Chain A
Amino acid sequence: MITLQHYLLLSAALFSLGIFGVLTRKNAVNVLMGIELILNSANINLIAFSRYSSHGLDGQMFAVFVIVVAAAEVAVALAIVLTMYRLLKTVSLDQADTLRR
């Protein structure tokens, strides 16, 4: 029997993995994948809460919007990463340190 707790544990694990990925990866595209994990963990939360309670469909509606926003965000992020590649010939975040100097 799969209960609400299982979904919450799954989403918490995904969220932690996402944060871990964001903090440890040096490749910009990998960091974006970590961000996707974070957004999707929130989606799982929203849908699970909506499914396992009598709160109506608000949560699922929210999740649909989050999916759209995530797509838009990745589109913008990839455009920026592409520009970075054009300028620096790399997508490694270690190279993006000109402003620190």
Chain B
Amino acid sequence: MIMSNLQSLKFFLPELTLTIGILLVILCDISLKSLRNRLNPVLTVFTLVLAAYYTFQLQDATAASLFHGMLAIDSFAQFFKLFLLLAAVLVVLASLHSAELAPFHQGEFFALLLAVTLGMVLLANSTNLAMLYLSLELVSLTSYIMVGYLKTDRLSNEASLKYILFGAISTGSMLYGLSLIYGMTGSLNLYSIRDAFLSQGVEGVDQFTVLLILVLTMAGFGFKTAAVPFHFWCPDVYAGAPTPVTAFLSVAPKAAGFAVLLRFFFSGMSQNSGGQWAIVGGINWPIVLIGISVLTMTLGNVAALTQNNLKRMLAYSSIAHAGYILMGAVVLTGDGVKSMLIYLFVYLFMNLGAFLVVTIIYDSDKTFEIDDYNGMFKRSPFVAVAMAIFMLSLIGIPPFSGFMGKLYIFGSVIDKGLYWFAAIGALNAAVAAFYYMRVLKAMLIEDGKGITAPLQVSFFNQALLVALLLPNILLIVFWNPIDRWTAASVQLFGGV
């Protein structure tokens, strides 16, 4: 069903809430000088929770096309909306006590965070090339500013400069690819594009043109998901950005990037026959995707081995995780997509948790070097054990939830008979275990030489750590709802 503008409004409530929230935060920031520092975070969290509440309300809405085919509302979009709002709430809470952001004015930070969330939510839903490009740029532009938020800090500025130059080139190339699609099919709507492509049959579309479009548009999607060969910005940007922003970038825009990648290729350029997708152009897609995925995870893991800066190490590790997630796309079925959603969901808690520990330790010690983490167990057993659990979860060791992510991803590949591909993935996970274990060794086994005073952790941060730990430990016990929820979330709206 294609809805007109007025009909669509009631399905657009989460996004409207976010828009009003952005305006309120800005207004509050300029008008209430005495209250703003306390009111802004509350207002931000309230906006995000209200948007999530409205998303819940719409959970059972039938799949439809909003605003004359600009956006889609379907279970896939609902999953990503909830996911992105949850990530934003957790990052707002983690940034409240950050010593890096404290010297700077916070009002804009929250407004920007809401804006980037709005952009990502729209990105995950957009079914029109113009909408897709605009929301991608909304996400990018606001995250450039957030990365450079520490404006007196050389590293933060350099990170944002690299980010914007690389990002502008990537999205520019993608735009050129999108303009070629418009020329070939005569439409900006993903469903009309698919119909125009398929009118010549799956194999009938010129292979060279499809390859050209693929390379150009993948520049944009690869940039957002930090997949090889568009990952060059990732380590520098992650290392230079304020840590809460790094945590946010490593999870939320990555997830939104995967969402738009899946929607673009599966509803715009492929034919679904009996649960198996066939993408236009007669190119051997699994091989292309396997190539990108293997390169991404191998490069990420191997580069992470030699890092001494924990933030840089986690940056490379997040590249590697993008590689694992991409494994789910290789099989081109609903099961594969489901395993990607599961992986993203468990990755949210373990990665944000690891970055929260980095933030806490930086706030007291002003260091990101792994060697300075020596003897952390004596200084704060709770933080050290929490970090240990996040690291084990990132490796994928049972009973932590990271294991379930890897289980489903590898399972979907093995179901397809790609044993050697699963073996490469498992080998990579083993390599990754080495550098995660290094952090564990530093924190739990080594003796600290320098500071021995107990680590100061505010009660709020302790509570937040517990909140991030619980999903890592307990999800595996209460697995059925997650399994059902993600299985129901692979439905992409097919148009008309």
Residues of A within 8 A of B (CB): 8, 11, 15, 18-19, 22, 28, 31-32, 35, 38-39, 41-43, 45-46, 49-50, 53-55, 58-59, 61-62, 65-66, 69, 72-73, 76-77, 80-81, 83-84, 87-88, 93, 96-100
Contact = CB atoms under 8 A, between A and B. Distances in A.
Given A38-B173, A42-B172, A66-B175, A99 B236 contact: yes
A35 B172 contact: yes
B97 interface: no
Contact of B133 (A41, A66, A96, A98): A66
A45 B172 CA distance: 13
Given A76-B164, A80-B157, A99-B155, A55 B172 contact: no
Given A38-B176, A42-B178, A58 B187 contact: yes
Nearest to A35: B168
B195 interface: no
B137 A73 contact: yes
Interface in B136-174: 137, 141, 144-145, 148, 151-152, 154-155, 157-162, 164-165, 168-169, 172-173
A28 B178 CA distance: 26
Nearest to A39: B172
A96 B141 contact: no
A49 B183 contact: yes
Contact of A55 (B130, B178, B179, B187): B187
B141 A65 contact: no
Given A35-B172, A49-B179, A87-B157, A76 B141 contact: yes
Contacts of A77: 144, 164-165, 168
Contacts of B188: 58-59, 62
B439 to A, nearest CB: 21
Given A65-B134, A83-B157, A46 B239 contact: no
Tier of interface size on chain B: 35 or more
A42 B179 contact: yes
Interface string B172-199: 1101101110110011100000000000
Given A38-B173, A39-B175, A80-B144, A45 B186 contact: no
Interface in B178-223: 178-180, 182-183, 186-188
Contacts of B14: none
Given A38-B173, A98-B154, A83 B130 contact: no
Interface of B: 129-130, 133-134, 137, 141, 144-145, 148, 151-152, 154-155, 157-162, 164-165, 168-169, 172-173, 175-176, 178-180, 182-183, 186-188, 235-236, 239-240
Given A55-B182, A73-B164, A83-B157, 13 more contacts: A28-B161, A35-B168, A39-B172, A42-B172, A49-B179, A49-B183, A58-B188, A72-B141, A80-B144, A80-B164, A87-B154, A98-B158, A99-B155
B172 A99 contact: no
Nearest to B173: A38
Given A45-B179, A46-B179, A76-B141, A96 B158 contact: yes
A45 B176 contact: yes
B159 A99 contact: yes
A10 B169 CA distance: 19
A40 to B, nearest CB: 10
Contacts of A65: 130, 133-134
B123 to A, nearest CB: 14
A26 to B, nearest CB: 12
Among A69, A80, A98, the one with the most B-chain Cβ atoms within 10 Å of its Cβ is: A80
Contacts of A66: 133, 175
B62 to A, nearest CB: 27
A29 to B, nearest CB: 11
A76 B144 contact: yes
Which of B144, B154, B162, B172 counts the most A-chain CB atoms under 10 A from its CB? B172
Nearest to A85: B157
Contacts of B179: 11, 42-43, 45-46, 49, 59, 62
Given A62-B129, A66-B175, A87 B180 contact: no
